Amino acid sequence: MADKAWGGRFSEATDKRVERFTESISFDARLAPFDIQGSKAHATMLSEVGLLTEEERKTICSTLDDIGKSIAAGEFEYHIELEDIHMHIERELTNRTGDIGRKLHTGRSRNDQVSTDVKLFIRHAIDHLVDLIEDLQEAFVGRCDRDQDVILPAYTHLQRAQPVMAPHYWLAWCEKLERDRNRLFDARRRTNVSPLGAAAVAGTSLPINRNRTAELLGFDTIATNSLDISSDRDFLIEFVSDLAIISVHLSSWAEEWILWCTTEFNFLSLRDAFTTGSSIMPQKRNPDVLELIRGKSARVIAANQHLLGLTKNLPLAYNRDLQEDKIPVFDAYDTVTACLELAAAIVETAELNRERIEARLEEGFLDATTLMEYLIKKGVPMRTGHETVGTLVSTCEKQKKRLAELSLEEFQQACPQIENDVYDILGVKNAIQAFVSEGSGGPKPVAQQLKAWKERIEARS
């Protein structure tokens, strides 16, 4: 039992099946740099309060650095009997430094140690994800100038609704991603609270300085209740919940572009580098990357449910169930990272099929709402105007005409207030000019939105 951190109490060796069942090194090895970072801060604090000498601190910290280099180089050997990354590093430290290494765990438990490691990882992960989100936002903003002359049909219920400028579409995704970015910043603030030094469950009688380790590790403050610290995984649930929302946004975007790539829509062409073919149908060019972005969102959503289910009935404080928290967290983070990286590349390189879009732009009566608002300006009550335009659209459908092709006489039969100036607002290109409300899809509001987004991106650089 000498290999076990808890072996002094036991006289019988652990069953090998139990060792295989309870190990976490197969997935928590990636916490190594954060475990070393936390341990160095802990050693520094211990030396400052007199629980280590300065020479012992130097030995511990330099040896931890050497161990970190060995791990990074792939030269470190893992053993399931040592259970987790914490015990691997501590055992290697002890092997290299003897009793000096055995002093490092003074004033802490693996309970607060793992929480510290994971918080350091989440903090790093959030910073990386924010960078990737900003890259995707820049890709969408970068499209706006080159697509500024393109008008697209906007949809509700997947039915053509009203026309908008293409940049309006791109900036809509920027807005969703900005909320994702802000949620991550909020989660980072709640994550950035140090658990280190809470020890196993009730704290410690040793004269440690938790505020000092928080300062050394860049935490904003310390968590204040040792029972809560041992059991708290709210920060992981919040982080993965934020990832689930990001993945839903990416899935929605992917679904839209998958539709746009179909022969039926034919709005968009993807580069060969981001499509695949069929093993039997030689003509196929499939948007598989977009389909997988859509599909992988299910894994991230499941990770969120995993964490909620894992923690819903745990009594205070630490329970071994919490070992299972890292698998969904790592998988969700890796999945969203890969999706964001590919999304930015696809957005930058896809091309709108302008001629195809314009050829069908007058289909679907995209100017109908603008005609209704024209009637409102003429003094017609909104509901009456809505009914009148609905009747005119029905007439056009029967005659296979567009609204702009109706005669003034036909218009006036439906509503006497209609005058010859009605033709100034009919047709998609005229109708879109009428959108003037802040945040709408007309040229002037979109130009304002784009200017604001360019300024926002410039301020970040």
**Is residue 186 predicted with pLDDT exceeding 90?**
yes
What DSSP string describes 17-44?
HHHHHH--HHHHGGGHHHHHHHHHHHHH
What pLDDT sits at residue 7? 57
Active-site amino acid positions: 157, 278
Residue 52 pLDDT more than 60?
yes
SS3 call for 408: helix
DSSP string, 160-209: EEEEEEHHHHHHHHHHHHHHHHHHHHHHHHHH-EE-TT-TTTT--SS---
- Supply the pLDDT for residue 226: 96
Q: Is the pLDDT of residue 336 over 70?
A: yes
Quick one: which of 107, 78, 321, 133 has its CA closest to 202? 107
d(CA 49, CA 70): 30
Q: Judge contact between 69 and 32, C-beta under 8 A.
A: no
pLDDT score, position 4:
62
DSSP 389-439: HHHHHHHHHHHT--GGGS-HHHHHHH-TT--GGGGGT-SHHHHHHT--STT
86 pLDDT higher than 70: yes
In the prediction, which pLDDT does 326 show? 97
Helix or strand run (H / E) with residue 159? strand 159-165
Domain spanning 7-106, CATH architecture: Orthogonal Bundle (1.10)
Q: What is the pLDDT of residue 14?
A: 79
Q: What is the rounded (10 degree) CA torsion for 137, 140, 144, 147?
A: 180
What would the mean pLDDT of 37-58 be, rounded to a whole number? 98
Q: Which two tokens stand for residue 49?
A: 């309060």
Question: Bridge partners of 352?
Answer: 268
Rounded to whole angstroms, the Cα distance separating 155 from 324 reads 43
Which residues are CB-neighbours of 20 under 8 A, at least 6 positions away?
80
Rg (CA), the chain: 30
Predicted pLDDT at 11: 64
- What would the pLDDT profile of 148-177 be if each residue is shown by its tens digit? 999 999 999 999 999 999 999 999 999 999
Confidence of residue 278 (pLDDT cuts 50, 70, 90): confident
Give tens-digit pLDDT for 245-271: 999 999 999 999 999 999 999 999 999
DSSP state of 5: T
Q: Measure the CA angle with vertex 252, ends 173 and 343; round to 5°.
A: 65
Q: Tell me what pLDDT residue 9 has.
A: 62
CATH architecture label of 111-150+165-201+224-359? Up-down Bundle (1.20)
Q: Give the ranges where 276-325 is alpha helix by DSSP (H).
A: 288-311
Q: How much is the pLDDT for 42?
A: 98
The band of 114, judged by pLDDT with boundaries at 50, 70 and 90, is very high
Token reading at 191 = 């994550």
Residues 343-380: tens digit of each pLDDT: 999 999 999 999 999 999 999 999 999 999 999 999 99
**If residue 351 lies in a helix (H) or strand (E), which one and from where to where?**
strand 351-352
Q: Which residue has the higher pLDDT, 7 or 225?
A: 225
The domains of the chain are located at 7-106, 111-150+165-201+224-359, 368-460
Q: Closest by alpha carbon to 105, among 199, 25, 28?
A: 199
CA 364 – CA 159 distance, rounded (Å): 8
The fraction of the chain above a pLDDT of 90, given in percent, is: 94
Q: What is the pLDDT of residue 13?
A: 81
Helix (H) or strand (E) holding 269: strand 268-269
Q: What is the pLDDT of residues 117-148, one digit of tens each?
A: 999 999 999 999 999 999 999 999 999 999 99
pLDDT for 421-457, tens place per residue?
Answer: 999 999 999 999 999 999 999 999 999 999 999 999 9
Beta bridge partners of 152: 164
Q: Average pLDDT, stretch 374-389?
A: 97
* DSSP bridge pairs for 155: 160
pLDDT at residue 461, as a whole number: 83
Whole-number Å distance between alpha carbons of 190 and 362: 51
Confidence tier at 12 by pLDDT (50, 70, 90): confident
What type of residue sits at position 95? N
Instruction: For residue 317, say if its preceding peptide bond is cis, omega within 30 degrees of 0.
Output: yes
Burial class of residue 273 (count of CB atoms within 10 Å of its CB; 0-12, 13-18, 19+) = exposed
What's the N-to-C CA distance of the chain in angstroms? 55
pTM: 0.94
Sign of the Cα torsion 261, 262, 265, 266 reads positive
Task: Using the predicted structure, report yes or no on whether residue 6 has a pLDDT greater than 60.
Answer: no
Fold of the 368-460 domain: Ribonucleotide Reductase Protein R1; domain 1 (1.10.40)
pLDDT, position 15: 87
